[in-house]
Amino acid sequence: MKTQSDTPKTNEAISGAETAGATLVAAGAIVLTNNATDCESFCESDTCTASKKPKKHNNRFVRFISDSRTVLGLLIFFFVASSVVSLFLIPNMPIRDIFSRSDDRPITAYDLFIHTAVPRTLAIIAAGAGMSICGLIMQTLTANKFVSPMTAGTLDGARFGAVLAMILIPGAAALTQGAFAFALTLATTMFFIFLIERIKIKNAEFVPLIGIVYGGVIASVTTFIVLQTAAGVQIAQTMFVASFAWQLSGWAVWAPILITSSFVVVAYIFANFFMMAGLGEGVAKNLGLNYRLTVNIGLVIVAIITASIVLMAGVIAFLGLIVPNIVSMYMGDNLRRAIPVTMVGGATFLLICDIISRAVLWPLFEIPVGLTVGVLGGIVFLFLILAKRRAGSA
């Protein structure tokens, strides 16, 4: 039992412990304060880069073009402006005569506007938006910013299928050509995905190099087959260089436009699933996603859109590569947010390239838009590679 004599000793021990605890708390507070002060001074210096807030750039122009809302506004403005210019940039079509129909002449300005200008502009918008979305889907699924229909053999497969349809079934309907192009596009793209899943080197630049070599092999086989046919020159002019200077009408024009528009909407619906698949097979399965089914759906969407555009206009390179990369700089990697902006950006870029192609030798001759896209797209592609290397070495 505790006695009265033990009570003073207990009280003294308790008070001593309280004094020691208070001393430790005070010392700890002093240390924490000093550490916080040191941390603040360190983060305010140039040595700290992780927690330092980004400084605003002094250049007003740089701040102006770095604002995503400003860029989006400029993009919409250029889209509307280039669409209007594309509608009225047709030889021998006075603007004042477009809406004044006359029965005196067999072909009036109104007929040229309705049957040539409007379908052509809509086809350019659909092709630009569709190819950009294909690139965005492929980059998301492979988690590689340099993968696109051009660097994965997708465009070459679509061209190979269309050429086979023209040779094996002369005079084949557009639906038959589309079926051939879709089948070869899907097969070549799936084989590329199968190939990169089994290579050990996953470098961002190495994977598209494999795709370029792979697409070059398919293009070489296609060229060899074309040169063995009597109509090889005509097929080459149709399939090897993209151009919208065609005289098509009816479903030959409207079917690819409607197919492309419809599957862009499907891509938007599946956007969140594609994002989860892009995290990797293991993570996607842990989230309850059927990884293989999601990837196959994405590849089917890419194959259908690509085949439709190749049959309508030919091979358009670089579009699915550069536009998604530029959009991701401002919009991030949220696929559902990026899809509408990518559509508008791709359509605007292709409209501007088509206007340049028509204006260079106006009104005598029209440069194929594929050449203009190749030149401008190649310059932007080199810039993206250099920027990627500069960011990696920093």
The mean-pLDDT minimum among 160-164, 236-240, 303-307, 355-359 falls in 236-240
**Residues 334-384: pLDDT tens digits?**
888 889 999 999 999 999 999 998 888 877 788 888 889 988 888 887 887
The rounded percent of the chain whose pLDDT value lies above 70 is 71
Residue 243, in any domain of the structure:
yes
Residue 103, in any domain of the structure:
yes
Mean per-residue pLDDT, 96-122 = 71
Residue 162, in any domain of the structure:
yes
The more confident residue out of 376 and 3 is: 376
Report how far apart the first and last C-alpha atoms of the chain are (Å, whole number). 73
If residue 201 lies in a helix (H) or strand (E), which one and from where to where?
Answer: none
Residue 30, in any domain of the structure:
no
CATH of the domain at 187: 1.10.3470.10
Which residues have CB under 8 Å from 43's CB, separation 6+?
51, 52
**Residues 132-189: pLDDT tens digits?**
999 999 999 988 888 889 888 888 888 888 888 888 877 767 777 788 888 888 999 8
Residue 119, in any domain of the structure:
yes
3-state SS record for 79-134: HHHHHHHHHHCCCCCCHHHCCCCCCCCCCCHHHHHHHHHHHHHHHHHHHHHHHHHH
**pLDDT at residue 224 tops 50:** yes
**pLDDT at residue 66 tops 50:** yes
Residue 63, in any domain of the structure:
no
pLDDT of res. 40: 40
The more confident residue out of 291 and 333 is: 291
pLDDT of res. 231: 66
Residue 49, in any domain of the structure:
no
Q: Which domain holds residue 86?
A: 70-393
CA quadruple 269, 272, 274, 275: dihedral positive or negative? positive
Nearest to 268 by CA among 322, 368, 372, 341: 341
- The Cα–Cα gap between 141 and 298 comes to 8
Residue 278, in any domain of the structure:
yes
Q: What total of structural domains would you count in the chain?
A: 1
**Residues 16-58: pLDDT tens digits?**
444 544 443 344 444 334 443 443 443 344 444 333 444 444 5
**Residues 197-210: pLDDT tens digits?**
887 766 777 888 88
